[in-house]
RNA sequence: UCCUCGGUAGCUCAAUGGUAGAGCAUUCGGCUGUUAACCGAAAUGUUGUAGGUUCAAGUCCUACCCGAGGAGCCA
């Protein structure tokens, strides 16, 4: 693999074989060609030097272009040229796959717009940017599992199909095997879902939280990491219809424990990227977002500020700054407010805690003041809300009261309520949109460019 | 879903209502231990779709489709 060659794992003078794809070819009429080959194992490609004495030099090597796949064998040598320390002096260059029509091969050795590359999502991993995103995304995912494993969390595989609109978190995608051309009807004329596959209405999950809470109330420390689905018609750079979410859940824990966990987790995965993907991060800092590296370093070197929602409102009122949306206690904070708190006021990540109950979900724990719930948002400079979490309501009577207040049918939540009947325990957790974390780390602007095949309204090609 | 901007060569973009162009990529030639090389030449178009106004539409008007940015919703 190219990464191990460039890392210096293999001594100069050794015979090596690499398998990969051609990025560019430059000929020298002195009788040799330079072939840049990449294989995805690291940011850099390696230069293969092919002399015209090779039997297939004229009829094959000189026809190589971007996208061709090759197997090259030769001696690893110190480079005579500038720009790379090592290169391969080819003894054989085997062409495995040609590019059928070089004229229309979309991935040219030049700058492409991300919009265009989205239209060729099957080929965009061959570009510098998307292979770098892919490695960073993988690094964040691996670091996530490592962090939770090292801290005694179990990964719980929560279901993707669900029969309850668990959290009320947005529009759901329906899952059904009913014949849409000929829907069975009840006497009342409604669609008869008792004849559907699961015998009731079913959907794609919007969150694994309620399910993972059940395992939390036995396994103590658990998390989910999987795809979630929202059928919202939102067309922004921050939303996907299908995205990956990380949701840890911690038993015998309160909101402060939750905030501690969020801080430790984010710092762990960001540090992993700086340690393990310096090559890709240098690329992002150079070509995508100048602050990609310094932002993470800054993030790691400061502890999170913590403040109550009420306190945050006071700060906003005293800001002496004109906000587009006026500041009042009880409002849901707009992104301009969140950004003021972390970017202007504190200049570091801020955890805002204890929000008004009316703007938060039913399962969040009611505080003693009767007005606020134990919810928290982690706000980060440059992005705003990156994590949302809460201490869960563990008291059955309080939970039922909240369900009633919000007009929810408590029978639907019968198993969730059982957790409060049988050995209930204070517990807390949070949710992190994985792609948003990848965006934050890489500095990529559009969330559709940090997931291999983005799903969004009117967009599910590939 | 709302607001704003956009859709012209493979890509990135020009073109006052009056002959559809450049750079890069591609192909060919030249030059060079080259570095998204350099020099020269060639080829490349149903101007998003459907209507309309006009002697004449890439350009103006209408509808629709697609894309981008912002807003709302949120992760």
How confident is the model over A28-47, as pLDDT tens digits?
A: 877 888 999 999 999 999 99
Distance (Å) from CA A13 to C1' B67? 51
With distances taken from each CA to the C1' atom of nucleotide B25, the closest residue turns out to be A108
For tokens 């700054």, the residue is A321
Distance (Å) from CA A128 to C1' B15? 34
Nucleotide with the nearest C1' to A34 CA: B34
- CA–CA gap between residue A145 and residue A136 (Å, rounded): 14
The model's pTM is 0.93
How much is the pLDDT for A170?
67
Distance (Å) from CA A126 to C1' B32? 29
The overall average pLDDT reported for chain A is 91
Distance (Å) from CA A36 to C1' B42? 27
Residue A164, token pair as written in the block: 């309850």
How confident is the model over A362-371, as pLDDT tens digits?
A: 999 999 999 9
Nucleotide with the nearest C1' to A25 CA: B34
Distance (Å) from CA A124 to C1' B43? 27
How much is the pLDDT for A165?
55
Report whether pLDDT(A167) > 60. Answer: no
Q: Residue A300 CA to chain centroid, in angstroms?
A: 19
Q: Residue A126 CA to chain centroid, in angstroms?
A: 20
How confident is the model over A396-425, as pLDDT tens digits?
A: 999 999 999 888 888 889 999 999 999 999
How much is the pLDDT for A367?
96
Proportion of chain A above pLDDT 90, given as a percent: 63
Task: Report how far apart, in Å, the C-alpha atoms of A368 and of each of A39, A98, A354, A357, A398 are.
Answer: 58, 70, 11, 12, 11
Give this complex's ipTM: 0.87
CB-proximal positions of chain B, under 7 Å: 1-2, 10-13, 24-27, 31-37, 65-75
Residue A138 contacts residue A131 (beta carbons within 8 Å): no
């Amino acid at each position: 693999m190219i990464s191990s060659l460039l890392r210096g794992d293999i001594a100069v003078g050794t015979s090596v074989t690499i398998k990969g794809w051609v990025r560019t070819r430059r000929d020298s009429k002195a009788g040799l060609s330079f072939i840049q080959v990449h294989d995805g194992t690291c940011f850099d490609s390696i230069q293969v030097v092919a002399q015209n004495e090779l039997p297939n030099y004229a009829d094959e090597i000189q026809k190589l272009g971007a996208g061709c796949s090759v197997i090259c064998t030769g001696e690893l040598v110190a480079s005579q040229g500038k720009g790379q320390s090592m290169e391969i002096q080819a003894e054989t260059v085997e062409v495995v796959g040609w590019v059928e029509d070089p004229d229309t091969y979309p991935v040219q050795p030049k700058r492409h717009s991300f919009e265009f590359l989205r239209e060729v999502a099957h080929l965009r991993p061959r570009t510098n940017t998307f292979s770098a995103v892919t490695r960073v995304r993988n690094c964040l995912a691996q670091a996530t599992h490592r962090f939770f494993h090292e801290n005694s969390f179990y990964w719980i595989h929560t279901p993707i199909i669900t029969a309850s609109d668990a959290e009320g978190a947005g529009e759901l995608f329906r899952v059904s095997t009913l014949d849409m051309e000929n829907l069975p009807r009840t006497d009342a004329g409604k669609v008869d879902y008792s004849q559907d596959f699961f015998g009731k209405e079913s959907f794609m999950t919007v969150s694994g939280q309620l399910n993972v809470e059940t395992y939390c109330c036995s396994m103590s420390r658990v998390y989910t990491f999987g795809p979630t689905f929202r059928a919202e018609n939102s067309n922004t750079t921050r939303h996907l219809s299908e995205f990956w979410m990380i949701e840890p859940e911690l038993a015998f824990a309160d909101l402060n424990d939750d905030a501690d966990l969020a801080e430790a987790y984010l710092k762990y995965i960001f540090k992993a990227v700086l340690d393990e993907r310096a090559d890709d991060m240098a690329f992002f800092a150079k070509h995508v977002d100048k602050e990609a590296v310094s932002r993470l370093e800054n993030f790691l070197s400061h502890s999170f500020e913590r403040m109550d929602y009420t306190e945050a409102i006071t700060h906003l009122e005293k800001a002496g700054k004109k906000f587009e949306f006026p500041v009042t206690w009880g409002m849901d904070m707009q992104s301009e407010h969140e950004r003021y708190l972390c970017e202007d006021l504190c200049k570091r990540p801020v955890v805002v805690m204890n929000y008004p109950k009316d703007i938060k979900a039913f399962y969040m724990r009611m505080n003693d003041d009767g007005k606020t719930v134990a919810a928290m948002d982690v706000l980060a400079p440059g992005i705003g809300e990156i994590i949302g979490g809460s201490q869960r309501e563990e008291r059955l009577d309080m939970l039922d009261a909240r369900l009633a207040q919000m007009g929810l049918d408590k029978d639907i939540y019968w198993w969730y309520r059982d957790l409060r009947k049988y050995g209930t325990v204070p517990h807390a957790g949070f949710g992190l949109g994985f792609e948003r974390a990848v965006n934050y780390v890489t500095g990529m602007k559009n969330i559709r460019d940090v997931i291999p095949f983005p799903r969004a309204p009117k967009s599910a090609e590939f």
